[in-house]
A and B are shown apart, each in its own frame.
Chain A
Amino acid sequence: MTQAPPELPLHMRRDHFDPVAELAEVRESEGVRRVTSTFGMPAWLVARHDDVRDVLADATRFSNASQLAFSLPDDPRSAEEKRKALAGQMLATDPPDHTRLRRFLTPEFTVRRMRRLEPRIVEIVDQHLDAMEAAGSPADLVPSFALPIPSLVICELLGVPYADRDEFQHRTARQLDLSIPMPERIALQREGRAYMEKLVAGAKADPGEDMLGMLVREHGADGLSTAEAQDGAAEITDDELAGLASLLLVAGHETTSNMLGLGTLALLRHPDQLALVRDDPDAIVPAVEELMRWLSIVHTGVARTTTQDVEIAGQHIPKGELVLCALPSANRDPSFIDDPDTLDVRRGSMGHIAFGHGVHHCLGAPLARMEMRIAFPALLKRFPDLASALPFDEIPFRAYHFIYGLHSLPVTW
């Protein structure tokens, strides 16, 4: 690790929990600013709540399907390999292709389905708390609690052997890390793909009761190529299946776990609010929404590409340009919520856009909400004296990552 990491683009810069002052300044002044995207390409950064909602709600003028947002500098892959790698990648499609892919999965993520999962999530949370208690204070909350709980949940749901977790946890975390050189990230992407293809082949040979098995049973297609599947086919191709499963595995790991780690630290820094979440069973639902809003761990989501000339906040933007939506800045827009920089778990506004907005609104939101609503109070009840073992300034925040969080959180109780 001798190479200096690249300079962070504006939309990823934070001061501990908070987006940097410069981002607020964009929001309070012109609203839209020309910046450099994560991959060094020019892009427009949209910073106000209303404008971000408008962009995300309009998949016609702001497209996800353009290869532009997914093209990486120095990408050694052939066009065919890239196309294969994007099959099933919902975040790289627009309606109607997006609608087709998303509808394969919506039945699995209904509010009712999630309620059926609840007892198993409670059990998984309790097991991890038991293990922490047995091992004794101190512990690192990230590997002992924040990461393994969502990991086990998504593995069971999908039908991914939990025994393989070390391998793919390492892979997914590094794939989304900007400080890792591009060739290594592409190699990791290829490895991940090969792993998923093996799992899909296994599910096709012997479909189980999990989500992969269900998708194979209900939509499995033999020998259908991805090109043939484009026109609203009810069958899912093997490439798409591998793509959907990879997306769920990455999204299921890298998001909820960071909310659990960062959210716990946020509560530790606000002891009165922590006490409320611990002691009042009605406090957790609004608290999760407020933590989501205040932390906004997804900096921007996928860059959109303009399909025509547009105007945002009075700024003319030509066709074919990248647009980035600054979610933390939008969620702290005083025109959206009063006193936006203060964490107040009592208010819990649902109008935040930390799960995105529009047709790509987070598919896993009902699952993530349920995991957080169970995990935070259980942790705080089990260890009422939970405290950070490090001074605040020494806690390692995860800056170079597409999703914000903590590398580790040593705690005592």
Chain B
Amino acid sequence: MKIVADRDVCIGAGLCVGTSDTVFDQDDDGIVVVLVEDPEGADADLAREAVSLCPSSALRIVD
């Protein structure tokens, strides 16, 4: 599992950071930064949840 973020479409809503601040962060402009690209275990579940919550569809899981 690999998390990919499209920083051009992110609206900085921070739902991802609110879901897991070990996997995601926001830079000074409020735009998403993926801290752990290939999360495992509980982090992987939280990352999956964040992907489905992201309002701007900025997050994707590739394989």
- Enumerate chain A interface residues (CB-CB to B < 8 A): 57, 99, 102-103, 106-112, 350-351, 356-359, 361-363, 365-366, 369
- Is B17 on the interface with A (CB-CB < 8 A)? yes
Within the assembled complex, what's the spacing in Å between the Cα atoms of A57 and B29? 22
Say yes or no: A111-B56 contact (C-beta < 8 A), given A350-B19, A366-B14: no
* Of listed B9, B11, B31, residue having the most chain A CB within 10 A: B11
Interface Cβ pair total, 8 Å cutoff: 60
Whether the Cβ atoms of B13 and A361 lie closer than 8 Å is yes
Are B53 and A57 neighbours in the complex by a CB distance under 8 Å?
no
- Dominant secondary structure of chain B at its interface with chain A: loop
A99, A106, A359: the one contacting B29 at CB < 8 Å is A106
* Chain A residue nearest to B26 in the complex (CB): A110
- Is A111 touching B31 in the complex (CB atoms < 8 A)? no
- Interface set, chain B 17-49, CB cutoff 8 A to A: 17-19, 21, 26, 28-31, 49
Which residues of A lie under 8 Å from residue B12 when comparing CB positions?
102-103, 106-107, 109-110
Minimum Cβ distance to chain A for residue B8 (Å): 8
Residue of A nearest to B54 (CB): A361
CB of B57 within 8 A of CB of A107, answer no
In the complex, which residues of chain A have a beta carbon less than 8 angstroms from the beta carbon of B19? Answer: 350
Q: Is the CB of B56 within 8 A of A366?
A: no
Q: Which residues does chain A contribute within 8 Å of B26, judged by CB atoms?
A: 110-112
Q: Are B18 and A111 in contact (CB under 8 A)?
A: yes
Q: Are A356 and B55 in contact (CB under 8 A)?
A: yes
- Minimal beta-carbon separation of B40 from chain A (angstroms): 22
User: Told that A106-B11, A350-B15, A358-B55 touch, could you supply 14 new A-B pairs with CB distance under 8 A?
Assistant: A103-B30, A106-B30, A106-B31, A107-B28, A107-B30, A108-B30, A111-B17, A350-B19, A350-B49, A351-B52, A358-B56, A359-B11, A361-B15, A361-B55
Complex Cα spacing A242 to B6, Å:
30
A350 touches B53 (CB 8 A): yes
* Alpha-carbon gap, A307 to B13, bound state (A): 26
Which interface residue of B26, B30, B31, B56 has the most chain A CB atoms within 10 A? B30
Q: Is the CB of A361 within 8 A of B11?
A: yes
Q: By the criterion CB–CB under 8 Å, are B11 and A102 in contact?
A: yes
CB < 8 Å: which of A108, A357, A358, A366 contacts B18?
A: A366
Contact: B14 with A359, CB < 8 Å? no
Q: Chain B's nearest CB lies how many Å from the CB of A240?
A: 18
How many Å lie between the Cα of A111 and that of B18 in the bound state? 7
Residue of A nearest to B30 (CB): A106
In the bound complex, CA of A408 to CA of B28 (Å): 40
Expressed in whole angstroms, the Cα–Cα distance for A103 and B11 within the complex equals 7
- Which residues of B lie under 8 Å from residue A356 when comparing CB positions? 55
Alpha-carbon distance A358/B57, docked complex (angstroms): 7
**B30 surroundings in chain A (CB, below 8 A):** 103, 106-110
